[in-house]
Amino acid sequence: MNSFRHSFPNLTQSPICDIIYQAYKVPFHLLDFLVKGMNQIVSIGTSHHVAPIEFREKLAFSEAQIIESLQHFRESDQVQEAVILSTCNRVEVYAVANAVRNADAAAKILVEFLSRYHQIGVESLKKWTYLHHNLETIQHLFRVTASLDSMVVGESQILGQVKAAYDASREAGGAGTILNRLFTKAFSVGKRVRSETTIASGAVSISYAAVELAKKIFNTLEGKTVAIVGAGEMSELTAKHLVSNGVSNVIVANRTYERAVKVAEKFNGTPLAYDTDLSFLIDADIVISSTNAPDYLIKRRPLADVMRKRKHRYMFLIDIAVPRDIEPDVSKIDHAFLYNIDDLEAVVASNLKDRQQEATRAEQIVTDEAKRFYDQLQIFQVNPTIKALHQQFREIADTELQACFYKTALSDQQEAAIASMTQAIVKKLLHHPMQNLRCAVNDGDADHGQYIQALQELFALDVNDDNSGM
């Protein structure tokens, strides 16, 4: 008994042990063997925040490697559940480890696995990775799905990537009861952050900033025509975003007509040869220019003639080239709106600043949701044990009552009174231990996992994981 009290002082001083000892006279030295740690939710990972791409490449998983690794975990007696997330910016393994005394031991399992699997030294792993345990793991995952940990705060791609990783793990048998609940909640938190904050609003790329400005000028892009001058990569990307936002016609003008044809095919557009008189811009509402030309391709005088022929309908010009393709004096033409790359970057910077301000609100949502989920998870792991223990005591009492009633001639009223008294005794016997167990969970007592495991082992409880209240 002294050995057990030294190892688990909180547990041996609790009413649970008193009940166990008084009712069953279980030798306390056996509890050293029976008591095990609570399942631990742990994660190990790396991202663009902490490691260079050279290390992230080494740690990355292909689809086949993910399935292979999940199979390894499933056959292991150390890891109960696992989900592997591998993107260009991050690699993370989330796991539920069992048969361990503490979170550090659980994390060690993941470190050793990654070291063996990717042939990376443990010291390198420690240098370029981060470890999270329990509540930290939950909060980190919620931050990831809410896009608070992304390179661009508020981007939407990560939520889909996490869903894909979770679906792959579930199909491979990697995710179980706890991770199913954890990831389902993470998706809910990600959606809540997007609906209750404006963290995802505002363009944060040059191409999207151009779309945002175009919408302000025209209100709607439906039916508008965009002209691409030079057909550079950034021009194509911007045109693609404009088309997805309603632009219906695309003109591609290039000094090399064959090149114009090739790009125009991507948008089902019209190829035209570039001409210094800019006549190809007469029907254009939006102009995007991005070339390596040493001189201005769009000058004030010829464009002013084009604007007169257009009867001064609005024209939005985007100069993404360095050096610039469009003469700055073009902005002096009535109804011509000229923006260069610095203007667009200023829009991006302003939107990023707004997102960072909204991120403060989002962080509070994530913190609150993580704490709430963690508390629910502890209760979730306690309730099946409490339910099973109550059921076992009731069944024993019912069996003994029926045996007693069979041997004794009692009236229905007497049998009912004895049955009622027996149930009351059962409730009183279990009241304080169960109350203390719930209090240990609510108060964050680190030993409550040992309490649960001791009860399950000592009473041979058949615990069914049928909670659905999270």
What positions carry a catalytic annotation? 88
Q: Retrieve residue 222's tokens.
A: 């439906």
Q: Identify whether the C-beta of residue 276 lies closer than 8 Å to the C-beta of residue 303.
A: no
Task: Say which residue the tokens 């004895």 belong to.
Answer: 418
Q: Which residues of 414-435 are buried (b: 16+ CB within 10 A; e: fewer)?
A: eeeeebeebeeebeeebeebbe
Q: Give the phi and the psi of residue 119 in degrees, each rounded to 5.
A: 55, 50
User: How far apart are the C-alpha atoms of 131 and 140, rounded to whole Å?
Assistant: 10
The encoded tokens of residue 190 equal 């990600």
Other CB atoms within 10 A of residue 465 CB: 12
3-state secondary structure of 91: strand
The rounded distance, in Å, linking the Cα atoms of 255 and 248 is: 24
Q: Which helix (H) or strand (E) holds 46?
A: strand 40-47
Q: Which two tokens stand for residue 320?
A: 């993404």
| C-alpha distances in Å from residue 36, one per residue of 12, 279, 321, 461 | 14, 81, 65, 15
